[in-house]
């Protein structure tokens, strides 16, 4: 009985083995994973230092102005509060109530806005061999981490020097929530940065989202104290949960279950995952 499969010629088997051996030798002769990782680190470090230099030297006193942005928010909102005759719904200091909402918002804003515009601002760098979109996003994320830390320290220190009672009930939780605000901004910025490389409209859409988040995040109100029908929908906006959690960490007497850490973490993971998928699927278009 004849076999259905045809015998493989010996020459074909030898050629196939030679091809596999040649590919293995080519891969072995190339840079190792550690060398590739080190090369990427050098590129990210160079872009990181360039971004810092650009941020500081771009406009005179520009960096100091960026540090003072939360204080400008607090001053503006205090003026509105006093004109309307309103007082803080929790605590006895209206200034600190507004500051605990303005600081996480600005931390999120810096991460989101700067990472979102990083590919467009560094478009010429990606023309160089070895510089990728990932390098640009990682470098800008590192710059914004330093910037956000500086903003938080500068704002709280300035308020303390001005005589306000800056006493944080749970400092570790307070720092963690502010770090989460930074991560949320970076993750959303990565997603919009990648999408905007193909559809510039998303860059404009991201900018239009900022006023929406400012109005709904709870800088001037307590989300959990709103009518249930309104609070239900605001709950889905992650920054409102982060602002509420910042206040629970700051005020020892304010208790709220409005914040859901798993929801925030899931959103951050979702934004980054979608960004990575888009980068992989459309890598040819993104490299143009």
The whole-angstrom separation of Cα 23 and Cα 26 is 5
CA distance 221 to 169: 20
Q: What is the pTM of this model?
A: 0.82
Q: Tell me what pLDDT residue 8 has.
A: 44
- Report pLDDT for 223: 86
Burial class (CB in 10 A: 0-12, 13-18, 19+), 78: middle
- Identify the pLDDT of residue 2: 44
pLDDT number for residue 95: 87
Over its length of 288 residues, how does the chain's per-residue pLDDT go in tens digits?
444 444 444 544 544 455 555 545 544 555 666 767 777 778 888 888 887 777 665 555 666 676 777 778 788 888 887 777 777 888 778 889 999 999 999 999 989 998 998 887 777 777 777 778 888 888 889 988 988 898 899 889 988 998 888 889 999 999 999 999 999 999 999 999 888 888 888 888 888 899 999 989 988 889 888 898 999 999 999 999 999 999 999 998 888 889 999 999 999 999 999 988 888 777 655 555
Query: Are 264 and 242 a contacting pair, CB within 8 Å?
Result: yes
pLDDT the model gives residue 68: 74
Say what the pLDDT of residue 30 is: 58
Residues of 116-155 as b/e, b for ≥16 C-beta within 10 angstroms?
bbbbeebeebbeeeebbbbbbbbbbbbbbbebbeebbebb
Q: What is the pLDDT of residue 5?
A: 43
Q: What 3-state class would DSSP assign to 99?
A: helix
Q: Which of 84, 213, 250 is nearest to 76 (CA)?
A: 84
Residue partners of 226: CB distance under 8 A and separation at least 6: 234
pLDDT at residue 178 in the model: 95
109, burial (CB in 10 Å: exposed 0-12, middle 13-18, buried 19+)? buried
- Cα separation, 35 vs 56, in Å, equals 32
Given this model, what pLDDT does residue 11 score?
A: 47
């Amino acid at each position: 009985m004849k076999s259905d499969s045809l015998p493989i010629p010996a020459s074909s088997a030898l050629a196939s083995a030679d091809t596999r051996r040649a590919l293995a030798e080519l891969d072995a002769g190339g840079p190792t994973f550690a060398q590739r990782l080190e090369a990427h680190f050098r590129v990210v470090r160079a872009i990181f230092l360039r971004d810092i230099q650009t941020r500081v030297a771009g406009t005179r006193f520009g960096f100091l102005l960026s540090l003072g942005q939360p204080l400008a928010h607090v001053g503006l909102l205090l003026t509105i509060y006093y004109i309307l005759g309103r007082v803080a719904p929790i605590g006895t200091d209206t200034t600190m109530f507004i500051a605990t909402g303005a600081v996480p918002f600005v931390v999120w804003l810096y991460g989101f806005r700067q990472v979102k515009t990083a590919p467009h601002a560094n478009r010429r760098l990606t023309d160089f061999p070895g510089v990728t979109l990932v390098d640009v996003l990682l470098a800008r994320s590192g710059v914004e981490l330093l910037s956000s830390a500086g903003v938080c320290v500068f704002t709280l220190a300035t308020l303390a020097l001005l005589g306000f009672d800056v006493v944080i009930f749970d400092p570790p939780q307070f720092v963690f929530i502010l770090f989460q605000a930074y991560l949320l901004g970076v993750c959303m910025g990565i997603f919009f940065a990648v999408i905007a490389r193909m559809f510039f409209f998303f860059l404009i859409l991201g900018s239009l989202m900022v006023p929406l988040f400012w109005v709904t995040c709870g800088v001037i109100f307590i989300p959990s104290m709103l009518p249930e029908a309104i609070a239900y929908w605001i709950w889905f906006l992650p920054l409102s949960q982060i602002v509420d959690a910042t206040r629970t960490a700051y005020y020892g007497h304010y208790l709220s279950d409005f914040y859901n850490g798993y929801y925030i973490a899931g959103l951050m993971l979702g934004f980054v995952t979608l960004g990575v998928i888009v980068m992989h699927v459309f890598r040819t278009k993104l490299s143009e």
